Chain A
């Protein structure tokens, strides 16, 4: 999308909580490397990278607390991981196609 700069989620700028941690690496999101801060869930890293909707045309963060199962992704070939609950590790390979459709 061409207007991504004006649209979508972002990490807090000049954060009043004054985080000191630097990014600890990257995860591979649908083939593209995105940066990862320590302690971040897959959902947080995806949103910080501007990814709002998943490649299956359905998935997205909705409840954010593990209730709705709307943010399922595949991590390192394991399907049906709740992106909002799983704390990412550098090098994790995340794909967002394939969770649409029934169940």
Chain B
């Protein structure tokens, strides 16, 4: 049963940010309700193996596992923390007096089952991010996976997605995915980094900001080297082919703007293509609560927060990737600071106690925010990917909207995202634009001749989701109770 009398602080999401927010708030004297949609706490980065696997050496699945596992165990024993897994917040509205009313659904059955509304006088949104995907010819074929899927399957189920796995895209996250696959005995068909970079590890300023990450990246690179695999920069998967599933991929050299170097295309055999271009923060609950946004490290919108991780709305805090994608260390620091701020606001933690506990986290946050900016500069996503598309390339996976239809809509006069989506069906399917949102916004901006998605009349149209999780209407007819 989910308590309808909420705690002092409700934390949404049990990834790096949410776990640290919960423990700091609770250590600071607050009662905490920690909600998470997944089966186990940990989020994407700290994903835990099912205990039922009975793994003797679970730490081998993840270099960061012991520390995260310790934190998760500590929270489970904490007398001021109540944890609910497989519970999702499917809608949120501002609460009079601050915080939020959160509409909950139990998703343990695989469907969303209405679980009532709770009042959260203080809420920490720690909803994280998911992989940013870009369409290319054949990308809807079975056998194409996001890096997050490859990692979830490996870390959470010990499954390798194919016999010859091709890892591609951009960003530092490709390295742990490739190294994890190799350590599990997978054969890789290649690791392709679309940007012309030898990686942030060659940048002294970025290295100085994140010594922990230098060591981690060095371990991944050593794993690849031991298995005679290296990251090939300036290359991408520009198409995949196959009869009902991926059988081959077309890889090509890219110019710095990501258009294809003519004549560089090669066909390689692969049965699993793992491809991702960074991450999209999950903003919908923050947007539903009316939180202001600002441009993040890569220019796309993120939730604006102050030094206490407080958003523009009273009692609504945000931490982790939704304030700017920066990885688990930054998320942990932001989460800890948000948790401490809630305890200070509640009055169970005094000014001096707060200052003493917050200072180390503030230093880490400052360092890793600069590191996030450096990463965004090293791993941009220039518009040249749009030239890989053909008229019949599927842009929206849910509604099978093709590039030609999107172009026709813009050429017929649709310039706002909302109009383009209404005309084509993009973003109107079951994922509500999560998968295609970045691509549709980028394509619409280019086709309508404006300088990037931020210049569109409604840049957040594909980020707003009043109903975050599809919930059967019948579930809503019987509203258990509604506090306040």
Determine whether the beta carbon of B55 is less than 8 Å from that of A20.
yes
**Listed A/B pairs (10) with beta-carbon separation below 8 Å:** A7-B162, A8-B271, A10-B163, A11-B158, A12-B154, A12-B184, A20-B53, A53-B244, A69-B398, A82-B110
Q: Return chain B residues, CB-CB under 8 Å to A81.
A: 109-111
> Chain B's nearest CB lies how many Å from the CB of A61?
6
Q: Would you call B131 an interface residue if the criterion is a C-beta within 8 Å of the partner chain's C-beta atoms?
A: yes
Determine whether the beta carbon of A20 is less than 8 Å from that of B56.
yes
Given contacts A7-B271, A61-B149, A63-B435, contact A16 B60 (CB under 8 A): yes
Q: Return chain B residues, CB-CB under 8 Å to A80.
A: 111, 470
Q: Would you call A14 an interface residue if the criterion is a C-beta within 8 Å of the partner chain's C-beta atoms?
A: yes
Q: Return chain B residues, CB-CB under 8 Å to A38.
A: 50, 52-53
Determine whether the beta carbon of A8 is less than 8 Å from that of B431.
no
Q: Return chain B residues, CB-CB under 8 Å to A6.
A: 163, 271
> Chain B's nearest CB lies how many Å from the CB of A84?
7
Q: Would you call A47 an interface residue if the criterion is a C-beta within 8 Å of the partner chain's C-beta atoms?
A: yes
Q: Would you call A64 an interface residue if the criterion is a C-beta within 8 Å of the partner chain's C-beta atoms?
A: yes
| Additional A-B contact list (17), CB under 8 Å, known A21-B52, A44-B159 | A7-B163, A7-B247, A8-B163, A8-B245, A10-B159, A13-B185, A17-B49, A40-B50, A41-B157, A42-B110, A43-B153, A63-B131, A69-B431, A80-B470, A85-B37, A85-B38, A103-B399
Q: Return chain B residues, CB-CB under 8 Å to A60.
A: 141-144
A-side interface residues toward B, CB under 8 Å? Answer: 6-21, 37-44, 47-48, 52-54, 57-70, 72, 75, 78, 80-82, 84-87, 102-103
Which of A21, A63, A67, A78 lies in contact with B53, CB distance below 8 A? A21
> Chain A's nearest CB lies how many Å from the CB of B36?
12
Residues of chain B from 75 to 130 with CB closer than 8 A to chain A in the complex:
107-111, 130
Determine whether the beta carbon of B158 is less than 8 Å from that of A12.
yes
Determine whether the beta carbon of A9 is less than 8 Å from that of B397.
no
Docked pose: A66 CA to B13 CA in angstroms:
14
Q: Return chain B residues, CB-CB under 8 Å to A8.
A: 143, 162-163, 245, 271-272
Docked pose: A64 CA to B140 CA in angstroms:
14
Given contacts A19-B53, A72-B430, contact A78 B162 (CB under 8 A): no
B-side interface residues toward A, CB under 8 Å? Answer: 37-39, 44, 49-58, 60-61, 107-111, 130-131, 133, 140-146, 148-154, 156-163, 183-185, 244-245, 247, 271-272, 397-400, 425, 429-431, 434-435, 470
Q: Return chain B residues, CB-CB under 8 Å to A40.
A: 50, 157
> Chain B's nearest CB lies how many Å from the CB of A21?
4
Closest 9 CB pairs of A and B: A64-B149, A39-B50, A86-B110, A38-B52, A53-B142, A81-B110, A60-B142, A39-B52, A20-B54
Which of B53, B54, B435 lies in contact with A68, CB distance below 8 A? B435
Determine whether the beta carbon of B55 is less than 8 Å from that of A64.
no
Which of B57, B184, B435 lies in contact with A18, CB distance below 8 A? B57
Q: Return chain A residues, CB-CB under 8 Å to B161.
A: 9, 47
Determine whether the beta carbon of A62 is less than 8 Å from that of B157.
no
Determine whether the beta carbon of A78 is less than 8 Å from that of B145.
no
For A92, the closest partner residue in chain B by CB is: B110
Q: Return chain B residues, CB-CB under 8 Å to A44.
A: 153, 156-157, 159
